[in-house]
Amino acid sequence: MSDDLTDPKTDAPSNADKPVDDWVTGDERMTGAQASYLKTLCEEAGEPFDPDLSKADASRRIDALQERTGRG
């Protein structure tokens, strides 16, 4: 029996920890969840919302707007 008590399903780094530039699907259209949150952040910051961003670009924009709105 192994003394290794790590669980690869729960102890593996999440995709949120992976650098955006390393995302395999980063050039795909942003997800619905990203779009919804980004739209909220844009409204709070008084910034225009771009519905055509990629997943990676949306993530970068979310990070920037979180800093600007104090949500980050």
- Structure confidence by residue, pLDDT tens digits, 2-47: 555 666 666 655 656 788 888 888 889 999 999 999 999 999 999 9
Domain boundaries, the chain: 26-72
Pull the structure tokens for residue 50: 């771009």
Residue 48 pLDDT > 90:
yes
Pull the structure tokens for residue 16: 């949120």
Question: One-letter amino acid identity for 52?
Answer: D
Residues near 15 by beta carbon (within 8 Å), at least 6 away in sequence: 23
Q: Which residue would you say has higher pLDDT here, 72 or 71?
A: 71
Cα separation, 53 vs 56, in Å, equals 8
